[in-house]
Amino acid sequence: MCGIFGFNFDDKELLRRMGSVLKHRGPDGSGYYSDMKVSLGHRRLKIIDLSDRAKQPMPNEDSSIWLTYNGEIYNFKELKEELEKKGHDFISNTDSEVLIHAYEEFGFSFVKKLRGMFAFALYDSNRDLLILVRDRIGIKPLYYFFDGEDFIFASEIKAILKHVKPGPDFTAVDQFFTYQFPLGPNTMFDGIKKVNPGEVLIYNLKTKILKKEKYWELKLEFGKESEGFYIKKIEELLKESIKMRLRSDVPLGLYLSGGLDSSYIAALASELNPEVKTFTIGFNHASDETDYAKKTAEHLGLEHKEIMVEPGEKELLPRITWHLDMPVANVAAVPTYIMAQNSKKYLTVALTGDGGDEIFAGYDKYRLMVLSQKMKFLPHFLKKIGVKAASIKLKPETSVRLEEFLLGDEIDAYRAYSSSFTKNEKNELYKGIKAPNQKENLTRYFHLDMPLLQKLLNLDIKTLLPDDYLMKVDKMTMASAIEARVPLLDHRLVEFAMSIPPSLKIRGTKTKYIFRKAMAKKLPREIINRKKHGFNLPTEDWLENGLEEIAIQMFDLGNPLINSDYCRAIVSKFKTNPRYYSRQFWSSFSFFLWYKMYFEMERPSFNLNDYLS
């Protein structure tokens, strides 16, 4: 787990500046390589093979191929054995060296053999190629900028900003205010793009042509096997995935939230290694799950550590914004950051439960959208009467969403449930700019000929996970130099999960039906039957204790893209309908902070008061 960066020209000073800004990702060492045509850099976090033989950028035997790599190839030992049989010699025990020899042996197709999370750059000097690769699910981040001349890449956008100074990308800004994150390959910075999950970028250094290729695509057909078959296979694949992710040469633990996903991972991990330690962060408020985590650990006989801290402080928001390179609309980034910060003294590698909701259907939105689809046969006038009756006790803004959810098509329903702002609200939010029609971005997901639930899961696996949730986990843990591993997102498990019929994922009002069944013999019923309990920050408490004044001051300073009066109105409306306006408040407030940090200040500050003048 590391920070990588590089470009297609020679500039040793730029290499060092990029490396310096990524030091948090790799505090254990740095390395640089340049041959006038290509410059590569690396910040190292030691995980596998702690010796200097694993130092990067790493060359092959004749220095014709160079690698800078971030991630873990969990099947590297098996690949190494295969390559040794073909005559390849190794000088280290690291997965990095396996990548180089696999490329030499198999060419571009070698990426299909990899099982893990990764983002790396390979420089083939014989062919004048610079190759960027990102893992299938998008667990690891990788960004690039290309203007026809300069081609530059890095693990985080802030490193690219050491060379280019782009403005904001309004298409991405509008996507942010719709979905709370920009859809790949967009970022909030004009001209800086993401390498999409399952994608290879091949840059020809001679012709200056950039080519993109997909090496993996998620299959969406599902089978017709028995419940017992799916239950057995889920456990088998997840256990195999965990076993591979328990490989580490540094202290390893498991973040145990008390929820379904991390609890099941803990149960299977305890069978593979009874010495594995579990960690939970407690915040002493309504979202605290320490009791459930403790019960799970006790049931499994695992050594458990509770780290009790104060609720996520608002003063951390500038620091978190800097690490994310984008506004903090997903406020779960705050507890994730605090958890990593406080557990670093105990571990360097942490297994997490991320991904289970997206592959096994754990969110209420899936259940509600499937339920609403079953009402489509009702005459329109009856549904309209139902909406009117239901709206009597609702606030006007909530009624508008309900009407769109129940009377619109599938895309309308998804946006009504998921979006922070409606199109009309965005037209009021923006300064003299009309909101684009974001509906077309979702068309390719909803026009597939398959059950609605399958469409929704596919959409979230392709967007919500790589563009938001996984970036939050990566950047908040790497801010404290912790490698987060996600066993539920092994690509073989994801492929199998998507082959399970939708009827076995949502059964009546029960989400994650088949996943809960798989857990039944391992954990107490109290854990298995829990409803999803997300972490919610005490926004109302924060507003009462100074955040309202801070937000108003920030809005008063103005923004060239956003209507400050509308944002101030959101603060007032939050008090009357906090559930509805919570996302709007966080999106607006965090956008102002992000914009000022990246486009108006000479250098980023981690002091919140510096953003009020």
The residues annotated with a catalytic role in the active site are 2
How many C-beta atoms surround the C-beta of residue 176 within 10 A?
A: 24
CA dihedral defined by 416, 417, 421, 422, rounded to 10 degrees?
0
Amino acid at 417: Y
Query: Alpha-carbon distance 484 to 475, whole Å?
Result: 10
Burial 388-421, CB ≥16 within 10 A → b, else e: eeeeeeeeebebbbbbbbbbeebbbbbbbbbbbb
- The rounded Cα 103 to chain-centroid distance in angstroms is 27
DSSP single-letter state for residue 337 = H
DSSP single-letter state for residue 133 = E
Can you tell me whether residue 193 is helix, strand or coil?
Answer: strand
How do 252-255 and 349-351 pair as beta strands? parallel
How many C-beta atoms surround the C-beta of residue 310 within 10 A?
A: 9
Identify whether the C-beta of residue 58 lies closer than 8 Å to the C-beta of residue 97: yes
Query: Alpha-carbon distance 313 to 55, whole Å?
Result: 37
Helix axes 578-595, 564-576, angle to 10 degrees: 150
Q: Which residue intervals of 284-438 are DSSP H helices?
A: 290-300, 317-324, 333-343, 356-360, 364-373, 380-390, 396-407, 410-418, 423-429
Helix axes 317-324, 470-478, angle to 10 degrees: 110
* Residue owning tokens 């057909």: 221
